[in-house]
Amino acid sequence: MGTFYICPTPIGNLEDTSSRIIETLKFVDIIYCEDTRRAAKLTNSFSIDTPLKSFFLGNEFKKIEEINQHLFEGKNVALISDAGTPLISDPGSELVSYLISKNHKIISIPGPSSVLTALTVSGFETNEFQFLGFVPKSQKEKLDFLVKIFNSTMPTVCFTSPKRIKKDLDFFESQGLDSEIVVCRELTKKFETIYRGKASELKHYFESDVKGEITIVIGPSSGDKKINFDLDEAIKILIKNSISKKDISKALSLVTDYSVNDLYNKIKDL
């Protein structure tokens, strides 16, 4: 059977591509990638002529059996993402789990990761940290996201988009997040910029349109671990979004001094 390779790609600077990655991508029979056009820029830069096939959020489940079959036929297959290490807030976890169940050989090659790059430049204690992926968009998921930050004694690493960074900082400030925050934009690229401060201090950097990939590192909260928000307004928003009253009670009990029963009694007739 063939071997499945998980291959990190540069998060911005092509010079971060290791010789092992280049040789592996030349050696394999097929490269699966998020965007074939974007992947072609990388492969063309290193004279890699291995065929490219798409594997992205939306078609990844359809491709699992196809990749499995290639491996059974003795073909070697590589998986890359648009940037950084595959599977980290990118599709691929289900694929790897399935290939393990079929006893395929899997090799993960170490390489670029915006999570670790941002963490090491943050200045926070890095013996332990939590990674939460992208900052959610829905109100309920954002509250759950903040609970994890407020209840953590370690730094939190997360992603956001240039279009949402200002809104996310506004949200952090409105909910009373008092942590030091490090915003990393365009890591490893020519215009790499690192911003440091509280949410309220960082907002003005993003008043106008910004471009580039953004990774955020949030330090442990120095507060009392209670999110400061308008309880009635939060309840109103969650009910409007069709969240069950039991789930609302459970979620808000984590971030207020009310018990689940007290909250449920408060909202059951709304």
Distance CA 238, CA 251 (A): 10
Q: Counting runs of H as helices and runs of E as strands, what totals does the chain give?
A: 11, 10
Contacts of 198 (CB under 8 A, 6+ apart): 173, 178, 179, 180, 181
* Intervals of the chain under pLDDT 70: 222-229, 257
Angle between helices 245-253 and 260-267 (to 10 degrees): 140
Distance CA 42, CA 229 (A): 46
User: Residues 227-258: pLDDT tens digits?
Assistant: 545 777 788 888 888 888 888 888 888 777 67
Q: What is the pLDDT of residue 124?
A: 97
**Range 3-108 has CATH code 2.40.30.70:** no
- Supply φ then ψ for residue 29, to 5 degrees: -85, -30
- What's the pTM? 0.80
- Supply φ then ψ for residue 163, to 5 degrees: -75, -20
Q: What is the pLDDT of residue 237?
A: 83
Spatial CA neighbour of 107 closest among 212, 247, 4 = 4
User: Residues 58-90: pLDDT tens digits?
Assistant: 898 999 999 999 999 999 999 999 999 999 999
Q: Which CATH architecture has domain 114-218?
A: 2-Layer Sandwich (3.30)
Domain ranges of the chain: 3-108, 114-218, 231-267
